[in-house]
C-alpha cells in the first residue's frame, strides 16, 4: 500500500468497554436490555436502539459522561497513532455511539483524533439526538461507517479497518486489510472474509510497522 487510511471503531476497541450499551443496560433497566437484545438480533436499527435506550434511562445523563471518564483506554491506541503518523496514514474514528461520551473520554486520556459519531445535545434540560451520517437507504446503522470508508477509497486510498462489533460489518467488508475481534471476527469467519485477529491495539500498530504500510513504507 502506498496511500492508506485507517478507520477504527470506538466502543470495545479504543475503549475496551462498550460504554453506551454497558451504561444503559446496567442503569436503565429491562427496557434497555430488551432493545439491545433486539438490536443484536437485527430486529431494530442502532438508531432506534439509541433512542429507546435514552428513553428507558430518563435520568441525569451527566452520569454517562462520568462513567466514560472513569474507564481506561487501550494504550496501544497511542502507539497505533504514532505508527500511522510516521507513515502518513490518516486515522479516523467511526462510532455508532454518541459524541456526548466519546469526546470526554478522549479528552480525559488526551487522545486527539478525527471522530465521526452520532450527536447528543442537552439544552435547557432537554435532550436531543442528531444522526448526521445516517444513510436512509440502508437504515441499519445510525452512523453509516461505510460512507466514511467509501469517501477515502474514492481518493485512491487503501483502507485498513479495526473493529470489534456488529456496526463494523459493512464498512470492514469494503476494507483492504481488516483487524477484528469479537462480533466482527465472528462475522468475518462466517462470511469467509480474510482478517487478522487482535486483542490489543499495540498488535495492530506492530502489523502496520512490519507490513511497511503507508507513504514512507
Buried b (16+ CB within 10 A) or exposed e, 27-47: ebeeebbebbeebeeeebbbb
Show pLDDT as tens, one digit a residue, over the chain (217 residues): 469 999 999 999 999 999 998 999 999 889 999 998 998 888 999 999 999 999 999 889 999 999 999 999 999 999 999 999 999 999 999 999 999 999 999 999 999 999 999 999 888 888 889 999 998 778 788 999 999 999 999 999 999 999 999 999 999 999 999 999 999 999 999 999 999 999 999 999 999 999 877 654 4
Yes or no: is domain 4-16+73-210 CATH 3.40.50.300?
no
Domain ranges of the chain: 4-16+73-210, 19-69
Per-residue model confidence (pLDDT) at position 137: 76
Element (H, E) at 45: none
CA distance 130 to 107: 21
Q: Find, among 181, 177, 173, 164, the residue nearest to 207 by Cα.
A: 177
pTM: 0.94
Give me the helix-helix angle, 99-108 and 19-27, nearest 10°: 120
Q: Which three cell numbers stand for residue 4?
A: 492508506
Amino acid at each position: 500500500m502506498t496511500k492508506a487510511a485507517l478507520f477504527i471503531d470506538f466502543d470495545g476497541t479504543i475503549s475496551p468497554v462498550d460504554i453506551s450499551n454497558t451504561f444503559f443496560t446496567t442503569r436503565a433497566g429491562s427496557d434497555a436490555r430488551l432493545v439491545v437484545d433486539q438490536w443484536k438480533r437485527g430486529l431494530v436499527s442502532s438508531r432506534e436502539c439509541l433512542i429507546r435506550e435514552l428513553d428507558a434511562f430518563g435520568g441525569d445523563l451527566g452520569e454517562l459522561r462520568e462513567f466514560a471518564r472513569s474507564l481506561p483506554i487501550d494504550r496501544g491506541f497511542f502507539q497505533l497513532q504514532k505508527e500511522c503518523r510516521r507513515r502518513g496514514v490518516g486515522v479516523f474514528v467511526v462510532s455508532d455511539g454518541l459524541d456526548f461520551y466519546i469526546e470526554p473520554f478522549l479528552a480525559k486520556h488526551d487522545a486527539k483524533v478525527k471522530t465521526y459519531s452520532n450527536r447528543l445535545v442537552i439544552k435547557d434540560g432537554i435532550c436531543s439526538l442528531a444522526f448526521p451520517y445516517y444513510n436512509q437507504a440502508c437504515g441499519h446503522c445510525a452512523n453509516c461507517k461505510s460512507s466514511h470508508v467509501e469517501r477515502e477509497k474514492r481518493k485512491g486510498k487503501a483502507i485498513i479497518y479495526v473493529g470489534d462489533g456488529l456496526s463494523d460489518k459493512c464498512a470492514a467488508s469494503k476494507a483492504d486489510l481488516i483487524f477484528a475481534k469479537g462480533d466482527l471476527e465472528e462475522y468475518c469467519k462466517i462470511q469467509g472474509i480474510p482478517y487478522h485477529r487482535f486483542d490489543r491495539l499495540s498488535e495492530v500498530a506492530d502489523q502496520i510497522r512490519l507490513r511497511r504500510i503507508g507513504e514512507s513504507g
